[in-house]
Amino acid sequence: MAVNDGLSGAQAGAGTQGDERPLQEVVFQEPDFFRDPYPAYARLRSEAPVWWCEEQSAWLVSRYEDVRAVLLDAQTYSNRPHQGLYGPYDDDNAGSFFLKDQPEHTAWRRIFTGGGGFSAAAMKACRDVMEEICADLIAKLPAGDIDAVRDISVPLTAGFLARLYDLPADDAPWVEAITDFYHPGTAELTPTLLAYFEDLVKKRREAPGHDPLSKAVLANDSKGPLLTDQQMAWNFHDLVLAGAASMYAAIAESVAVLAENPETQDSRHWESSEAAERSTEEILRWLEHSHWLFRTATVDVELGGRRIRAGDGVFPLIASANRDDDVWGNGSELDLGRNAGVPNLAFGYGPHIAVGAMVARAFLATMLPILVRARAPFRLGGVPERVLGNGVSTPTTIPITPADES
């Protein structure tokens, strides 16, 4: 089963498709670019796999092996913010381990992951909770038209993470910020969110539970503490909200992929846990919510035949890497039967791989079979809407309607 290349929900001919302009004239930050960036990514892989982009003042790295090498080598390619890209995150006092280098990154990350809250064993234990939440919400969906964002992805994300972290799912600042996290509007909410999470640190210290946030507070306190309460609040902010934003986008876009490609709703792709996991990995490879990450070279280094200087910005294009024909054979085709020999980079790779990657993967592999059994066949009921920019495509509306079974 194969489907022609294209961004989920993109209109034919949008973005750079068929665009023969020199790469120097392609504006990689404009919203129209993200409507269908894959032809430009293919040109980069073919013509200039490591390419200096004046617009970004950074190197664009587009081939899978080069992207994976950058993500794996945290000493050569720093995760520290490049040229103020992250605004308030550039301040050392922000204290987010997401943006730290070794050895701080490992020491801080272990505070939040050392308790085993994100391990394979923990996710296996969460399967029943995932199935319960997904089955309950999907069973209550209206019979007619729905919005995959409003009716499925946001309530599922909030409901599950509320259970995982023992947080309120209703009328809480963190829930309101889920859909805006990767875009400028969320900056206005940051002071309120930080106050909320700093108060949460104190509450979990006074009355700890068995959730990952409580375990993180106890682990930090046992080390001195290593982090201040303000730094813990920043890390809670990023751990909960970055994870929630990525998870909700992955859920919504996965539903869009199924709706656009009826073959993917065939029960054989979802009839066993092995089939569901394989299909989920292919969908994650295909859809890409985050198009690139940010790194800064710490030393002069050669990559793809180009000389990168210390201090240069480096953008590993994970969406491009996930379509690389040299790795996937037919990277521009969606094939749920694909037995990939290498991991996709949907949630990053190496020491900075997303903490919640295993959570999101397990949740999608649980939710999608339930949705297919309950709702197939279905299709898009209109044109999806997304907020596009800064390397991220975030869905705001994905209309879904029942399909004619004939």
Burial 275-313 (b: 16+ CB within 10 A, else e): bbebbbbbbbbbbbbbbbbbbbbbeebebbeeebeeebb
Residue 297: which of 24, 69, 109, 106 has the closest Cα? 69
Who contacts 318 (Cβ-Cβ below 8 Å, separation ≥6)?
67, 288, 290, 291, 292, 293, 345, 346, 348
Whether the predicted pLDDT of 254 surpasses 80: yes
Whether the predicted pLDDT of 30 surpasses 90: no
Task: Decide if 211 contacts 165 (C-beta within 8 A).
Answer: yes
Rounded to whole angstroms, the Cα distance separating 204 from 192 reads 18
Rounded to whole angstroms, the Cα distance separating 177 from 248 reads 12
Read off the pLDDT band of 122 (50, 70, 90): confident
End-to-end CA distance of the chain: 20
Q: What is the sign, positive or negative, of the torsion defined by CA atoms of 309, 310, 315, 317?
A: positive
- pTM (whole model) above 0.95: no
H or E, element range at 393: strand 392-397
Residue 286: its pLDDT value, please?
94
Predicted confidence (pLDDT) per residue in 169-187, tens digit: 876 778 877 777 766 556 6
Strand-pairing partners, residue 295, are 314
Tally Cβ neighbours within 10 Å of residue 207: 8
Alpha carbon distances (Å) from 300 to 51, 77, 226, 296, 311 = 16, 10, 33, 11, 8
Whether the predicted pLDDT of 15 surpasses 60: no
Rounded to whole angstroms, the Cα distance separating 103 from 327 reads 32
Mean of pLDDT values over 6-33: 56
Residue of higher predicted confidence among 314 and 245: 314
∠ at Cα 79 (75, 277), nearest 5°? 100
Note the maximum CA span of the chain. Answer: 66
Strand-pairing partners, residue 402, are 378
Alpha carbon distances (Å) from 169 to 164, 218, 324 = 11, 24, 39
Residue 212: its pLDDT value, please?
92
Residue 13: its pLDDT value, please?
32
Rounded to whole angstroms, the Cα distance separating 42 from 323 reads 8
Topology of the domain covering 65-402: Cytochrome p450 (1.10.630)
Burial (0-12, 13-18, 19+ Cβ within 10 Å), 109: middle
> For residue 230, which phi and psi values (nearest 5 degrees)?
-65, -40
The residue type of 400 is I
Alpha carbon distances (Å) from 112 to 16, 106, 334 = 41, 10, 35
What ranges do the domains of the chain cover? 65-402
- What own/partner pairs with CB < 8 Å and gap ≥ 24 does 220-228 have? 220/111, 223/111, 226/107, 226/108, 226/111, 227/95, 227/108, 227/111, 228/95
Whether the predicted pLDDT of 75 surpasses 70: yes
Percentage of residues of the chain with pLDDT beyond 70: 87
Mean of pLDDT values over 214-218: 94
Task: Decide if 93 contacts 230 (C-beta within 8 A).
Answer: yes
∠ at Cα 72 (69, 78), nearest 5°? 100
Residue 328: which of 316, 343, 346 has the closest Cα? 343
Q: Which residue has the tokens 């909200």?
A: 241
